[in-house]
Amino acid sequence: MSYFVDKNGYYGQFGGAFIPELLHPNVQELEDNYLKILESESFKNEFRDLLDTYVGRPTPLYLAKRLSEKFGATIYLKREDLCHTGAHKINNTIGQILVAKHLGKKRIIAETGAGQHGVATATVCALMNLECIVFMGEVDIKRQAPNVARMKMLGAKVVPATSGSKTLKDATNEAIRDWIGNPEDTYYLIGSVVGPHPYPDMVARLQSVISKEIKEQLKAQTGNENPDMVIACVGGGSNAAGAFYHYLDEEKVDLIAVEAAGLGVNSGESAATSQLGEVGVLHGSKTILMQDEFGQVTEPYSISAGLDYPGIGPLHAFLHESKRAIFMNATDQEALDAAYELTKIEGIIPALETAHALAVLHKMKFEKNQVVVINLSGRGDKDLETYIANLKDE
């Protein structure tokens, strides 16, 4: 079985490009060109150079000794939190801004939820001197004021999405509407492995640098490039796609995708899409999404704004359906506890999203020599307010 996108843009039954005719030329242009660009020597050199000298790659693969001791396994942390701007998101924005430049686009638009992808996009637009417009839900603009300020400082225009629930899915709708209205000069820089083909595949390829490095680093450190297990959190799923990518065909490597259960999978306040969703079309892609009995998209909930998305990328929908990946989840409280735990015993404050991936360590049984890699997708600076508010006195 192949876990990679087929020639029609599908992963099994998932994927495709369910877009209005108005977007057809834009998406077709990208589909016709993205592989040519990604595989060109000039792109590869520029991308590698910026990843090395600007993003700070390769990021370390760190053997977390105390964490390993606590869980009775050999646990490595892939330190994407040490990337410039604080998360893996910039791997994708660096790659796509180069694609946009190759296509001759002058105006960059993006959606953002918590603001991490918005900041990563505004950063590369500043770097490349391109106009940047970020759509962000009105509700999120209020919740994430520091990131809004960062984007503005980087020269981006932040446009509030005032439709629907005024959060990430609506910001995505607004970005797509803007793209419809500006078909010639504008590039839509999507932040995750979602959207119409070829976005999920392109973003997965750009993030695949994560698992490429894990392989090399693990080989150097242990003599074997394959761990027993890779764990990553999934909202749309870009960090998981990057961490899984070069292991998709290594069937002996267990892939664990961790979703946000919010207040509990069945509480009505959750973002565990694989558990609560059904097959449908969201943001141009056939995937699994949370919806009501008449196909209206429902609003997810998680303490972590980065996992608060009603769908998952089509690759993940396929990994779930084919059982290639095991889907687990963690509640708000379990994530908070895991974040405090990692901070205490390893001196690393993880992003709330990443904390969900750490939380499932408590739900598994390990053998001592079992090698586990957790993708530490982001750092927790942006979540300090939440961490402080929930810190219990000892």
Partner 1 sequence: MSKLTSLFNEKKHNLLSVFFTAGFPKLNDTEIIIKSLENSGVDFIEVGLPYSDPLADGPTIQHSSSVALSNGMNLDLIFNHLEALKGSVKIPLVLMGYLNQIIKYGDVKFCQRCKDCGIETVIIPDLPMIEYESHYKALFAEYNISNVFLITPQTSVERIRKIDEMSNAFIYVVASSSITGAKGEISEKQIAYFKRIEQMNLKSVLIAGFGISDKSTFNKACEYMNGAIIGSAFINYLSDNGSSTITKFVGDILD
Rounded least distance, CB 294 to partner 1, Å: 5
Residue with tokens 């990430």, as numbered in its chain: 168
Q: Which of 80, 111, 213, 334 is catalytic?
A: 111
252 noted as active-site residue: no
Rounded least distance, CB 372 to partner 1, Å: 37
Residue 181 in contact with partner 1, rule: CB under 8 A: yes
Residue 296 in contact with partner 1, rule: CB under 8 A: yes
Query: Looking at this protein, which amino acid is placed at residue 27?
Result: V
Q: Which of 121, 207, 273, 291 binds partner 1 (CB under 8 A)?
A: 291
Residue 27 or 119 with smaller CB distance to partner 1? 27
Q: Which of 68, 80, 89, 238 is catalytic?
A: 89
192 noted as active-site residue: no
Residue 163 in contact with partner 1, rule: CB under 8 A: yes
Q: Which of 68, 238, 302, 377 is catalytic?
A: 377
Residue 282 in contact with partner 1, rule: CB under 8 A: yes
State how far the Cα of 83 lies from the Cα of 233, in Å rounded to an integer.
17
| Cis ω before 198 (30° cut-off from 0) | yes
Q: Do 382 and 236 contact (CB within 8 A), yes or no? A: no
Which residues within the stretch 256-275 sit at the binding site for partner 1 (CB under 8 A)?
none
Q: Which of 72, 146, 183, 268 binds partner 1 (CB under 8 A)?
A: 183
Q: Do 75 and 374 contact (CB within 8 A), yes or no? A: yes
89 noted as active-site residue: yes
Rounded least distance, CB 353 to partner 1, Å: 23
**24-38 and 199-207 helices cross at what angle (nearest 10)?**
30
Residue 104 in contact with partner 1, rule: CB under 8 A: no
Q: Which of 41, 104, 129, 293 binds partner 1 (CB under 8 A)?
A: 293
Residue 186 in contact with partner 1, rule: CB under 8 A: no
Residue 113 in contact with partner 1, rule: CB under 8 A: no
State how far the Cα of 146 lies from the Cα of 131, in Å rounded to an integer.
21
Q: Which stretch binds partner 1 (CB under 8 A): 143-151, 206-214, 255-263, 278-286?
A: 278-286
Q: Which stretch binds partner 1 (CB under 8 A): 231-239, 264-272, 282-290, 337-345?
A: 282-290
Q: Which of 68, 93, 173, 274 binds partner 1 (CB under 8 A)?
A: 173
Q: Are strands 278-282 and 285-289 parallel, antiparallel or unpaired?
A: antiparallel
Residue closest to 88 by CA, chosen among 374, 309, 320, 322: 374
Residue 177 in contact with partner 1, rule: CB under 8 A: yes
Q: Which residue spans within the chain are E strands per DSSP?
A: 10-11, 14-15, 61-63, 74-79, 107-112, 131-137, 157-161, 186-188, 229-233, 254-262, 278-282, 285-289, 325-331, 371-376
Q: What is the DSSP string of 106-153?
A: -EEEEEESSSHHHHHHHHHHHHHT-EEEEEEEHHHHHHTHHHHHHHHH
Rounded least distance, CB 308 to partner 1, Å: 16
Q: What is the dihedral of CA 236, 169, 197, 48, to 10 degrees?
A: -60
Give the CA distances from residue 307 to residues 230, 252, 386, in Å, rounded to whole numbers and listed in that order.
Answer: 18, 28, 15
Rounded least distance, CB 23 to partner 1, Å: 9
Q: Which helix (H) or strand (E) holds 220?
A: helix 209-222
Residue 25 or 72 with smaller CB distance to partner 1? 25
Which residues within the stretch 1-30 sit at the binding site for partner 1 (CB under 8 A)?
16-22, 24-25
Q: Which residues of this chain interact with partner 1, rule CB under 8 A?
A: 16-22, 24-25, 163-164, 169-170, 173, 176-177, 180-184, 278-284, 289, 291, 293-297
Catalytic residue list: 89, 111, 377
